[in-house]
Amino acid sequence: QALMAPTISEYRYEPYGVCLLLAPFNYPVELTISPLVGIIAAGNCCLIKPSELTSNVASLLEKELPKYLDRDCFSVLCGGVELSTAVLANRWDHIFFTGSTRVGKIVLKAAAEHLTPCVLELGGKSPTIIDASATDLMLCARRILWGKMANAGQTCISPDYVFCHEKHYDEFIACAKKVLLTFAGEDPQKSPDFGRIVSKDHCLRLQRLIETSGGKVEVGGVVDVETRYVSPTILSGVSQESPVMKEEIFGPVLPVIRYRDLESVIRFIQSGESPLAMYIFAKDRKMVDRLCREVPSGGVVTNDIMFHFFNLHLPFGGVGHSGLGKYRGKYSFEAFSHRRCYLRRDDHSLLDIPARYPPYSDFNLKLMLFAGKHLPDIPPHPTLIRYGGMALTVLACAALWAHYISF
């Protein structure tokens, strides 16, 4: 590094340009505005495409956002799959997508045509593990079911299923029943705090998963397709080969699986794609460390559910099939910025080291190796770099020449 003195080096965050924001249906306001904040902060323009499944929210965004944003830089387009396909056919400087892994692959393929950078926030089957060392099973049940039943289970980082150690299995099931009764009452369909499924097709899909699970319905299992209602449901005795364990549930259905040894849990999770989140309820730190070491996931939360998403000091995103790239907080600014490097040097020929140029010799090689080993780096202070670096370089060059000429 000292051989480059006097040099000023830095990097600057610069906007990509025009971004495409493809928003999902499950949190149509939050998951539109949150990435949009990063897009704006980084200095980009943006086309916003809300989900057609939440048409009322899409119409609201189309009507209201232009009132507060520069219409030459930001626009909202509403439409279905055909519009999304047409939009993706264009060239964008950056694409941000939140949704399913299946559609994420389509978005990434379209982006690859123009080598467009992407952030893909996808999903997957986020596991929850209750270890034998866990002590407060009622607290575990409250936190897990809060995360599972929020937005009727339509959350990308919702706990998809639970592996519960056999020591706590029966107690956890009993606690979960009590918690659901507290949360939603005897008839959850009448509860003002329990939501509905986004569409009838998704209701039918959840109904199929319950009916083909092969497990026992401990509580719930009620589906009303016409009103898009699926009751909070807990399934016990579910096989790892059950259809409900093969795809992301994305609804208020929670399979609880008994396990004896942690190895079988690790093998099962590893056999699938990397999840967006992993939740561990345990006091045994070695057990937690082992899971974190052997099971990849977008994020890990110990003894709670989903809180890493709300912590703006942490980057949020998936890995593998659960996502590509990170955002939230300052990481949103970084996600929508190109970090461009700059290096500036003076044009003083006196400071130009001849050994860098051909013809090369053993002498030149020894000179460069000696300089790289013995010359110190210059602290990153502009004035010191410019003047101190010049002086140090002159003295260093003179000392090097004197050292080798003496031979």
139-147 mean pLDDT? 98
pLDDT digits (tens, 9 = 90+) for 152-165: 999 999 999 999 99
pLDDT at 217 over 70: yes
Buried (b) or exposed (e) across 139-163, using 16+ Cβ within 10 A?
ebbbbbbebbbbbbbbbbbbbbbbb
pLDDT above 70 covers a percentage of the chain that reads 91
pLDDT at 18 over 50: yes
127-138 mean pLDDT? 97
- Please give the Cα distance from 206 to 214 (Å, whole number): 14
Burial environment of residue 387 by CB neighbours within 10 A (0 to 12, 13 to 18, 19 or more): exposed
pLDDT at 345: 85
181-195 mean pLDDT? 94
18-32 mean pLDDT? 97
pLDDT at 31: 97
DSSP 147-210: HHHGGGG--TTS--EEEEETTTHHHHHHHHHHHHHHHH-S-GGG-TT----S-HHHHHHHHHHH
What is the torsional sign of CA 75, 77, 83, 84? positive
Which SS3 state, helix, strand or coil, does residue 95 take? Answer: strand
pLDDT at 402: 55
The residue ranking higher by pLDDT, 407 or 363, is 363
At residue 375, φ and ψ (nearest 5 deg) are -80, 130
Average pLDDT value for the chain: 92
270-292 mean pLDDT? 97
156 in active site = yes
pLDDT at 383 over 60: no
pLDDT at 291: 97
- Please give the Cα distance from 224 to 187 (Å, whole number): 13
Helical H runs in 30-136? 30-41, 55-68, 81-88, 101-112
pLDDT at 6 over 90: no
pLDDT at 390 over 60: no
Which of 274, 215, 202 is CA-nearest to residue 242? 215
Q: Which helix (H) or strand (E) holds 236?
A: strand 233-236
Burial environment of residue 344 by CB neighbours within 10 A (0 to 12, 13 to 18, 19 or more): exposed
What is the torsional sign of CA 228, 229, 233, 237? negative
CA distances from 355 to 7, 350, 369, 377 (A): 18, 13, 11, 19
304-322 mean pLDDT? 96
pLDDT at 403: 52
Which SS3 state, helix, strand or coil, does residue 275 take? Answer: coil
pLDDT at 372 over 70: yes
Let me know how long the chain is: 407
162-190 mean pLDDT? 96
356-360 mean pLDDT? 85
Look-up of token digits 């979960």: 176
Helical H runs in 212-315? 262-271, 285-294, 307-310
pLDDT at 46 over 70: yes
pLDDT at 62 over 90: yes
pLDDT at 213 over 90: yes
pLDDT above 90 covers a percentage of the chain that reads 82
pLDDT band at 42 (very low <50, low <70, confident <90, very high): very high
Considering the candidates 19, 46, 140, 156, report the single residue annotated as catalytic: 156
pLDDT band at 389 (very low <50, low <70, confident <90, very high): low
pLDDT band at 357 (very low <50, low <70, confident <90, very high): confident
pLDDT at 407 over 50: no
pLDDT at 89 over 50: yes
Which of 224, 218, 159, 217 is CA-nearest to residue 196? 224
Considering the candidates 121, 218, 248, 273, report the single residue annotated as catalytic: 121
pLDDT at 212: 96
Which of 67, 110, 57 is CA-nearest to residue 85? 110
The residue ranking higher by pLDDT, 47 or 6, is 47
CB 372 within 8 A of CB 3: yes
